[in-house]
Amino acid sequence: MPRLSGAQIIISQLERQGIRLITGIPGGANLPIYDALARSTTIRHILTRHEQGAGFIAQGMARSTGQPAVCFATSGPGATNILTALADAYLDSIPLVCITGQVPRTLLGTDAFQEVDTYGMSMSITKHNYLVRSAADLLTILPKAFRLAGSGRPGPVLIDVPKDVQTEMVEFVAWPEPFLAADHLPSDLKSVGQAAAMINEAARPILYLGGGVIHAGAAAEARQLAEQSAIPTVMTLMGLGILPTDHPLSLGMLGMHACRATNLAMEECDLLIAAGVRFDDRATGRISAFCPNAKVIHVDIDASEIGKLRPADAGITSDARHAFAGLLPLVQPRQRRRWNDRIQRLQKDFPRFPPQSFAPGKPFQLIRRLAELAGPKALISTDVGKHQMWVAQSYPFTTPRQLLTSGGLGAMGFGLPAAIGASLAFPGRPVVCFSGDGSLQMNIQELATAVEQRTSVKTVVFNNQSLGLVRQQQRLFYERHYFASSYSISVDFTAIARGFGMRAFDLNGAADPDHLLRQAMVEPGPCLINVPIDIEEDVTPMVPPGAANTTMIGDDHASN
């Protein structure tokens, strides 16, 4: 009969669960767990410089692999620091198991040193959370936490473990079974039949695909459905990569920063086939004006998403893979000449990439060039801001899970640690983080982790010496009343990177910028590339917050 401490039970179960990497930072309240981890021969610990970095690195692993990843933090400030990463995982449905230390049970509720109510604070930003009250409970809680994080609609689970629970000894008969990947319930046949009939009858359908399709591993089925019935397809920010960017049926991203032709096509559709999406306001614009003439089929594994914001004419509570598998045999092969001609007409009238955006030094030119140099196997992360939207608009994505970006929370500081996580999960693959000078400064300390862990992360800083997207909104919606949106000092990011022991390249004033880019991308190991960007360079077109998606401003065609 094994007799182990709570901390040993935690580490052994993580090993049995197949966890090989854990990110985190130790402190007084989680030292017993770290002491047990030190003895593990199979788990490698990634010591980060900030707990938010630990949370986002774990997310980078989870987002790139689809498997639950694990991060640790101590009580009090360790726990509060990691909360942003939990909220981010919650809004993007990313499987994460976060284990925090807590003050001993005897001190709970006494405002003890480094005591905060981690359980209460994390409740609304986790799929589920636990405050562990006895070491024996860990035997059931850990497998359950992995099951919850990884199945159904994935999400973060937090386990808060008082220090004396970590040291409490328990004797038990046998280890519980670890959680292995859950298969999801097949969808309800009646609504699948109804949905197929709606697709067959529709004249102008559009597929609207999001992160749920990627979580379900359903990109191939989605593509088959699109091709079989010649259905033009839009993707949310979280769905980019489901169809390759250059696929003839791909209309790219919809919503606030979509191409004009995409939002206009949606206005004309008569059937919206929504899968793994939640009708987020950044995607739909003013919801009452979204696809106003369309019937709606909504596929989601989370029943509460169906009808939450837009009533569905056919709702299918199912993971996208099972739903598509059910639909495919019932959906008639079609060409949909007229509808696809109409869309091509729109794309001719409103080209996606005006030629001037490919002038040297312009964001689209740089992104396309970096994509060429990185190759099709590259994993891409972004931070939050204009640079994020430029990447979403122009990067030639080819596969799901290729783009890691903070969609729901829009958390600046996500990009670098997420890229580190992706690089740790896929050591052989190139990883590029597109960041802004504002965002990078939110987790810049993780440059040290990128070097220390011998990652291959290339951090590209689109440096406009400003909080660009905020400044753009002030220009468009606050009469150019620029306030608190630019920096009055210029930061030498290459010197900072070098201070962390990282190679760095500066395109500012470079005689041959392309040569420098090639050199930076070809050398193995991490590096930072500073890329000057004109402060006035904006993301266009843009749907003003709260407006209908057909109200697009800022580009050459804007008249409304």
Partner 1 sequence: MPATDADLTAATLASPTTILRLTVNNHPGVMLQICGLFARRAFNLEGILCTAIGQGDASRIWLTIDAADKLDQIVKQLAKLEDVLAIEERPDAREQVGDMAAMMARIG
Ligand X SMILES: Cc1ncc(C[n+]2csc(CCOP(=O)(O)OP(=O)(O)O)c2C)c(N)n1
Binding site for partner 1 (CB under 8 A): 119-120, 123-124, 127-129, 131, 148, 302-304, 307-308
The three-class DSSP label of residue 543 is coil
> Which one of partner 1, ligand X, none is in contact with 318 (Cβ closer than 5 to 8 A by kind)?
none
> Which one of partner 1, ligand X, none is in contact with 437 (Cβ closer than 5 to 8 A by kind)?
ligand X
CB-based contact 8:170 (threshold 8 Å): no
List the Cα angle 116/119/121 in 5-degree steps. 70
The window from 21-29, 216-224, 326-334, 435-443 that contacts ligand X (CB under 6 A) reads 435-443
Q: Find the shortest distance in angstroms from Cβ 39 to ligand X.
A: 37
> Which one of partner 1, ligand X, none is in contact with 427 (Cβ closer than 5 to 8 A by kind)?
none
The window from 114-122, 145-153, 202-210, 462-470 that contacts ligand X (CB under 6 A) reads 462-470
The amino acid present at 525, given as its one-letter code, is G
CA distance 389 to 395: 10
Could you tell me the two tokens for 300? 């989601």
> Which one of partner 1, ligand X, none is in contact with 150 (Cβ closer than 5 to 8 A by kind)?
none
Which helix H or strand E contains 5, and what residues bound it? Answer: strand 3-5
Strand partners, 315: 298
Q: Find the shortest distance in angstroms from Cβ 214 to partner 1.
A: 21
CA distance 143 to 122: 20
> Which one of partner 1, ligand X, none is in contact with 383 (Cβ closer than 5 to 8 A by kind)?
ligand X
Q: Find the shortest distance in angstroms from Cβ 254 to partner 1.
A: 24
Residue 310, judged by CB atoms within 10 A of its CB (0-12, 13-18, 19+), counts as middle
Contacts of 300 (CB under 8 A, 6+ apart): 153, 212, 274, 275, 276, 277, 278, 306, 316, 317, 318
Which residue, 35 or 313, is less far from partner 1 as judged by CB?
A: 313
- Measure CA 40 to chain center: 30
Among 466, 494, 540, 549, binds ligand X (CB under 6 A): 466
Which residue, 131 or 218, is less far from partner 1 as judged by CB?
A: 131
Which residue, 16 or 144, is less far from partner 1 as judged by CB?
A: 144
> Which one of ligand X, partner 1, none is in contact with 28 (Cβ closer than 5 to 8 A by kind)?
none
List the Cα angle 83/88/90 in 5-degree steps. 95
The strand order across the sheet containing 431-436 reads 403-404, 379-382, 431-436, 457-463, 527-532, 503-506
> Taking Cα atoms as reference points, which of 533, 527, 514 lies closest to residue 431?
527
Q: Is 469 in the site for ligand X (CB under 6 A)?
A: yes
Q: Is 405 in the site for ligand X (CB under 6 A)?
A: no
Which helix H or strand E contains 273, and what residues bound it? Answer: strand 271-275
**What stretches of 375-524 show up as alpha helix (H) in DSSP?**
386-394, 415-425, 437-440, 447-452, 468-477, 493-499, 513-522
Q: Is 126 in the site for ligand X (CB under 6 A)?
A: no
Rg, Å, the chain Cα set: 24
Q: Is 438 in the site for ligand X (CB under 6 A)?
A: yes
Q: Find the shortest distance in angstroms from Cβ 493 to ligand X.
A: 11
Q: Find the shortest distance in angstroms from Cβ 67 to partner 1.
A: 21
> Which one of partner 1, ligand X, none is in contact with 462 (Cβ closer than 5 to 8 A by kind)?
ligand X
Contacts of 499 (CB under 8 A, 6+ apart): none
Could you tell me the two tokens for 231? 């259905």
> Which one of ligand X, partner 1, none is in contact with 466 (Cβ closer than 5 to 8 A by kind)?
ligand X
Q: Is 384 in the site for ligand X (CB under 6 A)?
A: yes
CA distance 307 to 193: 19
With contacts defined by CB under 6 A, how many residues of the chain interact with ligand X?
20
Q: Find the shortest distance in angstroms from Cβ 6 to ligand X.
A: 34
Q: Is 366 in the site for ligand X (CB under 6 A)?
A: no
The window from 118-126, 155-163, 302-310, 406-414 that contacts ligand X (CB under 6 A) reads 406-414
**Cis before 156 (ω within 30):** no
Task: Scan for tokens 């726990």, then name that residue.
Answer: 79
CB-based contact 534:466 (threshold 8 Å): no
Number of Cβ within 10 Å of residue 465's Cβ equals 16
Q: Is 468 in the site for ligand X (CB under 6 A)?
A: yes
> Which one of ligand X, partner 1, none is in contact with 252 (Cβ closer than 5 to 8 A by kind)?
none
Among 237, 387, 404, 408, binds ligand X (CB under 6 A): 387
Which residue, 120 or 376, is less far from partner 1 as judged by CB?
A: 120
Q: Is 407 in the site for ligand X (CB under 6 A)?
A: no
Among 464, 474, 494, 530, binds ligand X (CB under 6 A): 464
Among 164, 437, 446, 506, binds ligand X (CB under 6 A): 437
The amino acid present at 343, given as its one-letter code, is I
Q: Find the shortest distance in angstroms from Cβ 538 to ligand X.
A: 10
Q: Is 408 in the site for ligand X (CB under 6 A)?
A: no
Binning the chain into helix, strand and coil, the percentages to the nearest 5 are 40, 20, 40
Q: Is 411 in the site for ligand X (CB under 6 A)?
A: yes
> Which one of ligand X, partner 1, none is in contact with 55 (Cβ closer than 5 to 8 A by kind)?
none
Catalog residues that contact ligand X under the rule CB under 6 A: 383-387, 410-413, 436-439, 462, 464, 466-470
